Amino acid sequence: MKYIYDLHNTMLNENLILVYEGEFTQEITKSVLAMAERNMDSMGEESSTKRKVFNVMVECLQNIVKHGEEHRNSDDPSKNNAIFMIGKREDEYLVISGNPIKDEHISSLKEKLEEINSLDKDGLKQLYKSIIKSGELSDKGGAGLGFVDMARKSGRKLLYDFHPMTDQYSFFSLTTVIARA
Amino acid sequence: MEIISLEGTEDTPKIMLDKENGIFEISGRSLPEDSAEFYQPILDWIAEYSKDPNPKTEFVFKLEYFNTASSKLILDVLSALEEIDNISVLWYYHEDDEDMEEAGEEFEELVEGIDFQFLTY
């Protein structure tokens, strides 16, 4: 049973105030958002910080939901599982997610994230406008608009990593930092 | 014309579209699972309204939060409003919510022929 204590310590050491692991749906998204909101309210967090964290959480969670739906047919159900965490440090919040993705999607995803990270505030604004204006966007969003929005709300680079899982899948980790007001 | 009146929920906005009383409002939170499905009846209503609009239309957006999937649909709503004569958009934002103010300004830049007024609450 030591893993319980280890997990507990990991959460404390990494300053994680919320962790959810499992399948992601809109209902789960709403529950996680409500929990995080209550948490920030009870800590008396500034409303501008709360709004930015909420915003980034929504895009992050809905990205996972959308991605999960695309892979619902895969033979291994654990491939739909993802992890979502919120870290809180003295001067910043971290919105963290991890989910399996097919290796064939890594290069386009990387390209999108690199493009976003190469842009300044105004560049991100222009990219945002050009994506919603163009027909590129499907009805469920997509075209990386969620990432653009996360980067805009964060004002920092998006941190990401791909870790090999199997011969076909890698684990995509993403961290968005939001400074506390 | 029929009235659309929807209560807001934790992930969908409050909608009030009432031609007779001149009330046109989208407010609250917009992060539905399927934003296209949610906004379709609103787009249909505006298309119908624009055939025979009131002499003056003030359309209120008073959003607390919207996700990126909704932003495309909000742009679709605004594009549908472009067709209407004497249309203005009252874009409300919380007084310390610069992001929502900026979002309104970006929409203003993306549409034509709509007078935007920015108001705080």
Task: Name the band, by pLDDT with cuts 50, 70 and 90, for residue A136.
Answer: low
Res A163 pLDDT > 90: yes
| Whether A105 contacts chain B with CB within 8 A | no
Among the partner residues B35, B67, B109, nearest to A139 by beta-carbon distance: B35
pLDDT at B90: 98
| Rg for chain A, CA atoms, rounded | 17
- Alpha-carbon span A52 to A94, nearest angstrom: 11
- For A25-44, the pLDDT digits (tens) are 999 999 999 999 999 999 99
pLDDT at A134: 82
Task: Name the band, by pLDDT with cuts 50, 70 and 90, for residue A151.
Answer: very high
- Alpha-carbon span B11 to B97, nearest angstrom: 19
The ranges assigned to domains in chain A are 2-179
The answer to whether B112 and B82 have CB atoms below 8 angstroms apart is yes
Among the partner residues B10, B37, B69, nearest to A62 by beta-carbon distance: B69
Nearest alpha-carbon partner for A140 in B40, B79, B65, B36: B36
pLDDT at A11: 94
Residues of A in contact with B67 (CB under 8 A): 55, 58-59, 62, 141, 146
Task: Please report, for residues A28, B24, B61, B92, the alpha-carbon distance to residue B56 in angstroms, rounded to integers and kept in the order given.
Answer: 43, 11, 16, 19
Summary mean pLDDT of chain B: 96
| Whether B116 contacts chain A with CB within 8 A | no
Provide the percentage of residues in chain B whose pLDDT is more than 70. 100
- Alpha-carbon span A21 to A81, nearest angstrom: 7
Res A144 pLDDT > 90: no
ipTM (interface pTM): 0.91
Q: A16: helix, coil or strand?
A: strand
pLDDT at A67: 83
Task: Name the band, by pLDDT with cuts 50, 70 and 90, for residue A133.
Answer: confident
Question: In the numeric block, which tokens belong to residue A91?
Answer: 């001067």
Distance from CA of B77 to the nearest CA of A (A): 13
Class assignment of domain A2-179? alpha beta
pLDDT at A66: 87
Nearest alpha-carbon partner for A36 in A19, A15, A14, A12: A19
- For A74-124, the pLDDT digits (tens) are 666 556 689 999 999 999 999 999 999 999 999 999 999 999 999 999 999
**For an interface test with A, which of B38, B72, B76, B78 has the most A Cβ atoms less than 10 Å from its Cβ?**
B72
- For B102-113, the pLDDT digits (tens) are 999 999 999 998
The answer to whether B93 and B104 have CB atoms below 8 angstroms apart is yes
Task: Name the band, by pLDDT with cuts 50, 70 and 90, for residue A137.
Answer: low
C-beta atoms of A30 and B109 within 8 A? no
- Asked which of A10-24, A131-145, A159-173, B83-97 is least confident by mean pLDDT, the reply is A131-145
pLDDT at A68: 78
Buried b / exposed e along A104-142 (16+ C-beta atoms within 10 A): eeeeebeeebeebeebeeeebbebbbebbeeeebeebbb
Residues of B in contact with A176 (CB under 8 A): none
- For A43-75, the pLDDT digits (tens) are 999 999 999 999 999 999 999 998 877 766 566
pLDDT at A143: 64
Among the partner residues A34, A140, A153, nearest to B69 by beta-carbon distance: A140
